[in-house]
Amino acid sequence: MDLKIISAARNFDYQKGIWERKWKDGKYIKHFGADRAKAIMRYSSMPGTSRHHWGTDIDINDLSDSYFTSNAEGKKVYEWLTTHANSFGFYQTYTSKESGRTGYEEEKWHWSYMPLAKQLLEAYNTQISYKAIVNFNGYESAEPLGAIDLYVNGIDANLK
């Protein structure tokens, strides 16, 4: 199986770069304030709220749903991942929202190494508050949108 990690650990500044590029992008700029943040947060995290900060989470092969649902190779890869990744400790973090999961849309490419990520989520929830989510465009919307409660904690039940 051809698995390629296309993104892994990203620090605050790197995530801030991704976020602020989107904040100024024509696709999002028509929205204002919390609406713009919410539109970006369909697939991207505010700096300080990304699991990619933890070093436990990776994106595999392609950042599009269609690769995993329509591309022959992608379908094979996703089938392999859903069958075997758990036995190596990896879990799909953002699964279907049909179960009532909140936050980001489903990401078939994003997988967490659960034995470590579980502990880091616990540490995050005891040590990080909205007061720490600052220093980037739109940070004021973190609390009203529930960036910690609904997004950082909006993960598949297997990871809690």
* List of residues contacting Zn ion (CB under 5 A): 59, 110
Nearer to Zn ion, 116 or 140 (CB): 116
CB of 58: closest distance to Zn ion in angstroms? 7
Count other C-beta atoms under 10 Å from residue 103's C-beta: 21
Nearer to Zn ion, 44 or 140 (CB): 44
CB of 30: closest distance to Zn ion in angstroms? 25
CA–CA distances in Å: residue 75 to residues 19, 106, 155? 29, 15, 22
Q: Which residue number places its CB atom closest to Zn ion?
A: 110
Nearer to Zn ion, 118 or 140 (CB): 118
Q: Which amino acid is at 77?
A: V
CB of 158: closest distance to Zn ion in angstroms? 17
How far apart CA 52 and CA 16 sit, in angstroms, is: 12
Residues 6+ apart with CB under 8 A from 79: none
